[in-house]
Amino acid sequence: MGLENVLKLIGGLALFLYGMSMMSGGLEAIAGDKLKKILERLTSNRFLGVAVGTGITAAVQSSSATTVMVVGFVNAGIMTLVQATWIIMGANIGTNITSQLIALDIGKLAPLFALLGVIFIVFLRSKKLHHAGQIIAGLGILFIGMSMMSQSMTPLRDDPVFLDLMTQFGNPFLGILIGALFTAIIQSSSASVGILQALAASGLIGLPNAVYVLFGQNIGTCVTALIASAGVSRNAKRAALIHLTFNIVGTAFFFAVVRLSPVESLFMSLTPDRPVAQIANFHLFFNVTTMLLLLPFGKLLVRFVTRILPDRPGDLEEGQYLRYLDRSILKNEYPIGSVAIFIIQLRLEVERMLGMARDNIERSFSAVKSNSEKLQNEIERVEDYIDYLNKEISYFISHMIAMEMTERESVAINAYFKIVGNIERIGDHAINIAGYADLLQNKGLKLSEKALSEVDTMRDMCLQALDVLYAHKDRPASELLEQMQNAEQEMDDITARFRSKQIERLMAGECNGEACVIYTEMLTDFERLGDHMLNIAQAVNISNIEELRLPQGARDSVSGESSTTETEA
């Protein structure tokens, strides 16, 4: 095989992979958000799950992409492991679309597809048509690359070294190993099966040897999801392991079938002169049969992987960590649906951050009435955590904003950036209020009963307004904005009224002058809390993102200890 053919092989592979990437990119731009909604609304019906997994994978032409997206949804907590199992089963069927397209032998039309796609991209202004052009051009480029690979490998039919290697595929374990390693390296079973078909088209490998490579390719495609599951939740790791288990079980079953029966001869007789179609058809048969075998045992698969990866007490590590966002998304390990997954993970992380800020507001007002070292330490610990989340979430947003996304997704991500900044400021005001409580105690001061009653009113108003942000789930964002505008105005009015009453108490000699100054500063923080909560509602309304709500079990309860009675002010 000369240098010219080697370069042609490399160039053909590059075009093949680039064509697949173009098609996936166009489909992501057109339907990425819709794919997310389909998966989010998935029911526990196994047949619907398989159908959805098949359809989505047929569209994006990558079972790895679908499985990685599923891992992201399981990690975000919006999909159960059982639901993920049905989609993974369907994904293995949908991945056959590329090999079936290749088997149709429409490669002669490849230049026409490429030209038509380029016309759409270059000469049409519509974004949708531009993305459709990516899909069409990608298909054409894919077939051009396929043709180049086939032509470059034709001389190998007379190469004794290569022919000897091909005959070694008669060793089934070597064939499985080669298929798994090559697919793991390029992280696409569709691409590796396409290359196997190119070998068959050149007469370099027949179905009896190719079946073992196919088995390995189905195992190797699981590597992408396994990589993506690193550093995420236990359930997300289990979803990736289900994908691997599914293909290992299928390989074991078909290994026995091939060794004990002439099944490959049957497929060769169906299309005797078309080795490319033989590979495509056997690949489809492998995945459909494996799905039918394991479909009744989906829940058993979940129990199996749960036994392998049991829950551990240390899974939710102590200290500061991101529960939903993981850095693998920044390494572009999510080939499709990246932005959709990120927005869901982002929403859950922001909800968690808002829950922490809400609890610190409650603690800070409690400290004014009953301060303790334990309570102050907890407030400071949570504030450090809020600052950490603000820094980490902002880091993720700044990196993700550069990715290609729809206008709606871009607006949503920018809105979350504003929301995170306002939550961080809410946390700062909680620290300020707790600081006033500490200052009162250190100076031996105490607010009057009337002032403490007003503190209770401020606390209740803040918590009610924050709970509106959580609970406003099934109403329009405009309604949330209206409620928060009313709440913010009421907080402004109460601030003015409490200031006036405090001046009256000071003039009547009912309160200490120094304590009065501290209380006035507290009123300023209370007023600004209303401003930041209104800013959050405005960001939700402008972007029309899903409203924030409190995740179950997000709140912590910390009871303050009673402090000793000090000089009343």
Clarify whether residues 144 and 183 are in a common domain: yes
Inter-residue contact 217 to 183 (CB < 8 Å): yes
CA distance 48 to 66: 15
Domain presence at residue 318: no
Clarify whether residues 299 and 343 are in a common domain: no
Report the CATH number that the domain containing residue 355 is assigned in CATH. Answer: 1.20.58.220
Clarify whether residues 299 and 342 are in a common domain: no
Inter-residue contact 301 to 242 (CB < 8 Å): yes
Strand, coil or helix: what is 411? helix
Domain presence at residue 508: yes
Strand partners, 568: 446
Q: What is the pLDDT of residue 45?
A: 76
Inter-residue contact 548 to 353 (CB < 8 Å): no
Domain presence at residue 326: no
DSSP labels, 259-298: HHS-HHHHHHHHSTT-HHHHHHHHHHHHHHHHHHHHGGGH
Clarify whether residues 456 and 558 are in a common domain: yes
Domain presence at residue 330: no
Q: What is the pLDDT of residue 270?
A: 87
Domain presence at residue 314: no
Q: What is the pLDDT of residue 80?
A: 78
Clarify whether residues 360 and 282 are in a common domain: no
* 547 token code pair: 């409203």
Which of 543, 535, 525, 435 lies closest to 487, judged by CA? 535
- Among 308, 326, 357, give the residue marking a domain's end: 308
Q: What is the pLDDT of residue 333?
A: 47
pTM of the full predicted structure?
0.57
Q: What is the pLDDT of residue 423?
A: 95
Domain presence at residue 324: no
Q: How many domains does the chain have?
A: 2
Domain presence at residue 321: no
Domain presence at residue 452: yes
Q: What is the pLDDT of residue 222?
A: 84
Taking only the tens of pLDDT, the chain with its 569 residues reads 567 777 887 887 788 777 766 776 676 666 555 655 665 565 557 888 888 888 877 766 667 767 777 776 776 666 778 888 888 898 888 888 777 777 776 666 778 888 888 898 888 878 778 888 887 888 788 778 767 776 776 665 556 665 565 555 557 888 888 888 888 776 677 777 887 887 788 777 888 888 888 898 889 888 767 776 665 667 778 888 998 999 999 999 999 998 888 888 888 888 888 888 889 899 999 999 999 999 998 889 889 998 888 865 544 444 577 888 876 666 554 445 567 778 888 888 898 899 999 999 999 999 998 888 889 999 999 999 999 999 999 988 888 877 777 778 888 888 999 999 999 999 999 999 999 999 988 888 888 889 999 999 999 999 999 888 876 555 677 888 888 999 999 999 999 999 999 888 888 888 788 888 999 999 999 999 999 999 999 988 877 655 444 444 333 333 333 333 333 33
Inter-residue contact 336 to 28 (CB < 8 Å): yes
State residue 512 phi and psi, 5-degree precision. -75, 135
Radius of gyration of the chain (CA): 31
- Among 291, 308, 325, give the residue marking a domain's end: 308
Clarify whether residues 144 and 204 are in a common domain: yes
Clarify whether residues 196 and 125 are in a common domain: yes
CA distance 148 to 11: 8
Q: What is the pLDDT of residue 557?
A: 30
Q: What is the pLDDT of residue 551?
A: 41
For residue 520, count other CB atoms closer than 10 A to its CB. Answer: 14
- Among 263, 293, 308, give the residue marking a domain's end: 308
Clarify whether residues 304 and 342 are in a common domain: no
Clarify whether residues 295 and 345 are in a common domain: no
Range of the domain at 300: 3-308
For residue 490, count other CB atoms closer than 10 A to its CB. Answer: 14
Clarify whether residues 280 and 351 are in a common domain: no
CA distance 353 to 438: 25
